[in-house]
Amino acid sequence: MSDAIDPTPAFRPLLHFTPPKGWMNDPNGLVHHAGQYHLFYQCYPDDTVWGPMHWGHASSRDLVHWTHRPVALAPDAHGMCFSGSAVVDWQHSFVAECEITTVPRKAVCGTLRADMVTPLVAFFTRHVPGESPEFDHQCQAMAASRDGGRSWQTCDKAILDNPGLQDFRDPKVFWHAESAHWVMVLTEGQQLGIYRTQGGAEWEKVSVFGAEHGAHDEWAWECPDLFPLPIEGSQGEQGGDVERWVLMVGVQRCGPAGGSGTQVFIGDFDGIDFTPHQPPETVTWFDLGADCYAAQSWSDHPGERLVIGWMSNWLYANETPTGDWRGAMTIPRALSLHPDEGGEGHVLRQAIPEQVRRSAGALDALVVPRRPAPGSVLELGEAEAALTEFRLQLSTGAAVSLRPFGDDSLIFRFEGVEAGLDLTVERHLPGNPYPGPEAALVEHFPHQIHHHLPAGPRVACQLLRDSCSAELFIDEGRWVLTELAFPASPGPTTLCVERGEVGLGAVSGRHW
């Protein structure tokens, strides 16, 4: 929910973050500071298609109600402002510590203004477009804020210049306490470069990762993130939790539903090298749907690891039918790491954060049969933004179809098989008449994809529906599917029993 936004333009979500107007894509510079969640994002305020990249800015205290702030970074003589990250500079590693006063200072420390507030530092890619892609130039830059993110001053000089690569972007910076260094992970075409510094502008390249691992296509990897997660239920020799490191990075054209997707590697990181635990050919997706990309986590958050992604796909992002705005974020997600059933690997689970759940009200009681007969069509609540939760049990050969909007704009179909569940996602073109539809939307938006999920006989499901999206969490968030949809006349969410013996329980609903 965002302030100062007209809710009337087509398909404007009630719960999910959207820009006040114009274009939005990747989340950038996610940082928690002084009790506020800061969300920066790639944007072009002057049109609803991708253009000269700015950093938009919003803040929230609860991840639900967002206040729009002025644009934080804008293109200048040094180039556009591509994706990146932000940190709280507690140690004054990047911004010199000046005398603390009770009013903003006019003085300058190095090249950056200082005042009474501990600085926020943003790292981003400057992009200078050329006459053709091979003449584009990208380098890493820095900006700082000493007033809690309300205003920013950039360094004119690059902090890491381009070594001669066409794709050299999207720096994710974090403090690695064990090695007492700041670490930067950024994309270098089909691999990631890992750099480090103890402070200042002297970044040393220490390793690379990825050329022989995971999914690749003809486009560069994008928007990496690297962070530790404790293994739930574990205990190390010193009594603390055992940790593993999670590396996320985007692919542009070979995602699980075609086009954009975010892949995940789980392994170890010693401050220099990232060592994955999975074989090089293994591909693990953060989200199995078509519309979760460039997922990034909040830095400096004292609690659980929180992540948000861009809810779209580069195959058709410029053509979605949304009036004077275009682009939305997924719901924020809390991550946890668990041992897998064999005890040798790990399972990443995603959950809707508790503060988001608490902000919703309960729907009227949902009364459904525990053993619905074949042919039954059950209504699971109707609200513009709603969370429906249930447990599903399917005998072998049984099948049900879940329609988030009560129509055929988007269908999730579950079928019980001996080794788990088969899931089919079927999506159709937007139903409302609007100018177009344009070619890319016609070609790429409709799809039918299939997934086999090695789940047990009973599976917990959560469906989060908003005006133009559905996020389906399966088996306590072991699998998540995010899909845009543009229904002509949305109705109640329905579950249809197509065949076989079906068990249904723990049905509940919430709404915003």
Q: Is 199 left (phi over 0), alpha (psi -120 to 50) or beta?
A: left
What do you get for the CA distance between the two ends of the chain, in Å? 9
Q: What is the DSSP letter of 210?
A: -
28, β-bridge pairs: 40
Answer whether 197's CB lies under 8 Å from 266's CB. Answer: no
Answer whether 23's CB lies under 8 Å from 328's CB. Answer: no
CA 252, distance to chain mean position in Å, is: 14
CA 52 to each of CA 132, 186, 302, 475: distance values in angstroms, whole numbers, following the listed order: 16, 21, 34, 41
Measured distance CA(114)–CA(110) in Å, rounded:
10
Measured distance CA(396)–CA(149) in Å, rounded:
55
Give the CA dihedral 141, 265, 351, 347, nearest 10 degrees.
-160
Q: Where are the beta strands (DSSP E) in 357-446?
A: 361-362, 377-379, 386-394, 399-403, 410-417, 420-427
Of the listed 3, 26, 62, 287, which one is catalytic? 26
Q: Select from 334, 472, 491, 488 the least CA-distant residue to 413.
A: 472
Q: What is the DSSP letter of 231?
A: B
Element holding 37 (H helix, E strand): strand 36-44
Q: Select from 192, 182, 190, 171 the least CA-distant residue to 267.
A: 192
Measured distance CA(43)–CA(30) in Å, rounded:
15
CA 501 to each of CA 18, 394, 415, 458, 459: distance values in angstroms, whole numbers, following the listed order: 41, 6, 11, 13, 15
Measured distance CA(363)–CA(68) in Å, rounded:
29
Tell me whether residue 26 is one of the annotated catalytic residues: yes
Measured distance CA(102)–CA(113) in Å, rounded:
15
Catalytic machinery residues: 26
